[in-house]
Amino acid sequence: MRTLEIKTTSSKYPVIVGPNCLQTLPDFLKNRMNQLSKILLITDSTVNQLYGDKVLHLLMDTPYPVSKFVVESGEQSKSFQQFIDIQTYALQEKLDRKSLIIALGGGVVGDLAGFVAATFMRGIPYIQIPTTLLAHDSAVGGKVGINHPLGKNMIGAFHQPIAVLYDTLFIKSLPSLELRSGFAEVVKHAFLKGESFLQELISIEDIEMLDESHLAEIIYKGIEVKAEIVGQDEKEAGIRAYLNLGHTLGHAVEAEMGYGKLSHGDCVAVGMLFAFSLSEKVFKVDLNYVKIKSWFKSLGFPVVIPDNLLTEDLISRMISDKKSTSGQINMVLIEKPGSVKIEQFTASELTNFLESWREEELV
């Protein structure tokens, strides 16, 4: 079990990573949270079936009353309706400012429950208990929110958890598609960090063959990258935008397909490929694009954008990306692994790049 401390301008909290670290939850609550009035456990239907009772039993070992709210599993739950339903339930259950929310699940539950915590009575504490590989990213850093039909994560807040308990045993039950989705964010962290982390990942040919300790190792390294960036720029005034590598196009594909049709990680993977190709053209560098693309393909990531999505629709989504300023699209690009730059494009410039990349990929 390893602990990493996240230090931001607004807070400081531990991220505990390792097998069975979930068992530390009751002690953590008893030692660190005096005078808690109630706990609201928020999870999704799949995670509830697998681990709901286990976590509930652990919470029964604490002196605090516990309620549970279960959302349908999947991206569609990051919605206004679920947000309102949970707030209503929290009010009916008489949560107050001394109450605690626990998010048990992947990024969907973490983002949604975190946003409820950020806004309930103007903000109450919450703990993240991530259960997906992807959530090594989403559980850390305090970006919480829900989707709007017009764009991903458009409604949200920065609200840091008071702790993250990442029990790596949860990952055993994760379907391969979700494992791959989470691996995309690990790859993103490696590109941001530099060559040595990246080379370590490139030697992985099959994500499912990773054993528990190797997974824990790459999870920890990924979180270290995120912690370093979030520690310097909690609210994305500058370098936090690097964590958006692959997301400008990725989010556009995710929304344009319809939330939940393609996994977040698959969309980020295809978005990163475009960012790498664009980086090679803009900076006139060799990022080994062909090799990276064939590695992505062998891991099962989509390497092209679905044919039915129109470039103009994707560009119009990208113009409304949160990083955009005055109608210009800011793309996170890579000069080489570990060296990141944000470059601005007009819609028509980016349309040309995206169109020609899509054509190149067809041959």
CA distances from 243 to 157, 185, 335 (A): 16, 9, 15
Q: Is 12 helix (H, G, I), strand (E, B) or coil?
A: strand
Q: Which stretch binds ligand LNCXM5UN (CB under 6 A): 91-99, 118-126, 242-250, 353-361?
A: 242-250
Residue with the shortest CB distance to ligand NAD: 107
Q: Which stretch binds ligand LNCXM5UN (CB under 6 A): 39-47, 240-248, 276-284, 289-297?
A: 240-248
Q: Which of 43, 132, 244, 263 binds ligand LNCXM5UN (CB under 6 A)?
A: 244
Pair 47, 104: CB distance under 8 Å? yes
Specify the residue, 64 or 301, whose C-beta has the smaller distance to ligand LNCXM5UN. 301
* Phi and psi, residue 105, nearest 5°: 160, -160
Confirm or reject binding of residue 141 to ligand LNCXM5UN (CB under 6 A): yes
Pair 127, 161: CB distance under 8 Å? yes
Confirm or reject binding of residue 160 to ligand LNCXM5UN (CB under 6 A): no
Task: Choose from ligand LNCXM5UN, ligand NAD, none: what does 178 bind? Cβ within 5-8 Å by kind.
Answer: ligand NAD
List binders of ligand LNCXM5UN among 315-334 (CB under 6 A).
322
Residue whose C-alpha is closest to residue 110's, from 86, 93, 135, 81? 135
Residue whose C-alpha is closest to residue 19's, from 37, 5, 1, 7? 1
115: CB partners within 8 A, 6+ apart: 83, 144, 145, 146, 155, 156, 157, 159
Q: Which of 59, 100, 243, 334 binds ligand LNCXM5UN (CB under 6 A)?
A: 243
Q: Which stretch binds ligand NAD (CB under 6 A): 19-27, 107-115, 194-202, 301-309?
A: 107-115
Q: Give the H or E element holding residue 14.
A: strand 12-18
Confirm or reject binding of residue 137 to ligand NAD (CB under 6 A): yes
DSSP string of 23-61, one letter each residue: GGHHHHHHHH-TT---EEEEEEHHHIIIIIHHHHHHHHT
Neighbours of 66 (CB within 10 A): 17
* Angle, CA 231 vertex, CA 119 and CA 2 arms, to 5°: 95
List binders of ligand NAD among 174-193 (CB under 6 A).
174, 178, 181, 185
Confirm or reject binding of residue 247 to ligand LNCXM5UN (CB under 6 A): yes
What single DSSP character describes residue 72?
P
Specify the residue, 14 or 65, whose C-beta has the smaller distance to ligand NAD. 14
Neighbours of 284 (CB within 10 A): 8
Confirm or reject binding of residue 234 to ligand LNCXM5UN (CB under 6 A): no
Task: Choose from ligand LNCXM5UN, ligand NAD, none: what does 170 bind? Cβ within 5-8 Å by kind.
Answer: ligand NAD
Q: Which stretch binds ligand LNCXM5UN (CB under 6 A): 14-22, 76-84, 136-144, 198-206?
A: 136-144
Residue whose C-alpha is closest to residue 79's, from 116, 30, 40? 116
Detail the residues annotated as belonging to a binding site for Zn(2+). 185, 247, 264
Specify the residue, 52 or 141, whose C-beta has the smaller distance to ligand NAD. 141
Supply the minimum distance, in Å, between the C-beta of residue 251 and ligand NAD: 8
Q: Integer distance in angstroms from the first to the last C-alpha of the chain?
A: 48
Contacts with ligand NAD by CB under 6 A lie at: 44, 46-47, 50, 73-75, 78, 105-109, 111, 131-132, 134-135, 137-138, 141, 143, 153, 170, 173-174, 178, 181, 185, 264
